[in-house]
Amino acid sequence: MGVSHLELEPATPGSGCRLGQWDSWDRWVSHLELEPATPGSGCRLGQWDSWDRWVSHLELEPATPGSGCRLGQWDSWDRWVSHLELEPATPGSGCRLGQWDSWDRWVSHLELEPAGHGGLVCQQGVGIYAGWVPQTGELWTTSDVAKYLGVKPGTVSAYRHRGQMPAPVQTLGERTHLWEAATIREWHEHRRPKSDAPPERTDPHEWLVHGERDLYKSEWVRLSKVDVEPPHGSRFEHHVVTMRAAAMTAIIDESGENVGLVWRHRFAPDLWNWELPGGLVDDDEEPIETARREVREELGLVVAEIHHVVSFEPVVGMVRSPHHVFVATGARAASEPTEKNEGAGLEWIALDSIKGRIKAGEISNSGTLVALLHLLAFGIE
Q: Look at 323 and 284; give whichever has higher pLDDT.
A: 323
Of 78, 104, 126, the one marking the end of a domain is: 126
Q: Look at 18 and 155; give whichever has higher pLDDT.
A: 155
Alpha-carbon torsion angle 249, 250, 251, 254, nearest 10: -150
What is the total count of domains within the chain? Answer: 3
122-126, 286-290, 320-324, 339-343: the lowest-pLDDT one: 122-126
Beta bridge partners of 265: 272
Q: Distance of alpha carbon 289 from its chain centroid, rounded? A: 40
Q: Look at 348 and 62; give whichever has higher pLDDT.
A: 348
Q: Which of 12, 15, 66 is nearest to 38 (CA)?
A: 15
CATH number at 350 reads: 3.90.79.10
Q: CB–CB of 225/210 below 8 Å? A: no
Whole-Å CA distances, 33 to 29, 58, 334: 13, 10, 102
Q: How would residue 308 be classed by pLDDT, with cut points 50, 70 and 90?
A: very high
- pLDDT higher than 70, residue 235: yes
- pLDDT higher than 70, residue 336: yes
Residue range(s) defining the domain that contains residue 313: 246-378
Q: Look at 381 and 232; give whichever has higher pLDDT.
A: 232
Q: Look at 115 and 14; give whichever has higher pLDDT.
A: 14
Looking at residue 135, its pLDDT comes to: 42
Q: Look at 76 and 150; give whichever has higher pLDDT.
A: 150
Q: How would residue 126 be classed by pLDDT, with cut points 50, 70 and 90?
A: very low
149 in a structural domain = yes
CATH number at 156 reads: 1.10.1660.10
Looking at residue 118, its pLDDT comes to: 40
Beta bridge partners of 17: 34
Looking at residue 4, its pLDDT comes to: 61
Looking at residue 76, its pLDDT comes to: 59
**Could you report the per-residue pLDDT of 76-97, keeping only the tens digit for each?**
565 556 656 665 555 555 566 6
Burial label, 270 (beta-carbon count in 10 A; 0-12, 13-18, 19+):
exposed
Of 191, 208, 223, the one marking the end of a domain is: 191
Q: CB–CB of 241/221 below 8 Å? A: yes
352 in a structural domain = yes
Looking at residue 134, its pLDDT comes to: 40
Same domain, 279 and 172: no
Query: What is the C-alpha separation between 186 and 275, in angstroms, rounded?
Result: 47
**Could you report the per-residue pLDDT of 29-65, keeping only the tens digit for each?**
776 666 655 555 556 667 766 666 666 666 665 555 5
Mean pLDDT of the chain: 78
Q: How would residue 159 be classed by pLDDT, with cut points 50, 70 and 90?
A: confident
147 in a structural domain = yes
Looking at residue 84, its pLDDT comes to: 66
Same domain, 77 and 10: yes
Of 101, 126, 151, the one marking the end of a domain is: 126
Q: Which of 70, 3, 59, 4 is nearest to 31 (CA)?
A: 4
Backbone angles phi, psi at 332, to 5 degrees: -145, 155
Same domain, 315 and 266: yes
**Could you report the per-residue pLDDT of 170-225, keeping only the tens digit for each?**
888 767 889 999 899 888 887 765 555 678 888 889 999 988 888 998 989 999 99
pTM: 0.50
Looking at residue 173, its pLDDT comes to: 74
Q: How much of the chain exceeds pLDDT 90, in percent?
A: 38
Looking at residue 364, its pLDDT comes to: 93
Same domain, 121 and 143: no
Q: Which of 240, 235, 210 is nearest to 225 (CA)?
A: 240
Query: What is the C-alpha separation between 375 and 323, in angstroms, rounded?
Result: 16
Query: What is the C-alpha separation between 106 and 143, in angstroms, rounded?
Result: 12
215 in a structural domain = no
Q: How much of the chain exceeds pLDDT 70, in percent?
A: 65
Polymer length of the chain? 381
Whole-Å CA distances, 310 to 129, 266, 323, 355, 378: 54, 24, 8, 20, 12
Looking at residue 158, its pLDDT comes to: 76
Query: What is the C-alpha separation between 98 and 45, in angstroms, rounded?
Result: 20
Same domain, 69 and 145: no
Looking at residue 125, its pLDDT comes to: 34
Q: Look at 123 and 368; give whichever has higher pLDDT.
A: 368
Query: What is the C-alpha separation between 337 and 268, in angstroms, rounded?
Result: 24
Query: What is the C-alpha separation between 8 and 6, in angstroms, rounded?
Result: 7
82 in a structural domain = yes
Looking at residue 358, its pLDDT comes to: 95
When pLDDT is averaged across residues 260-288 and rounded to a whole number, the result is: 92
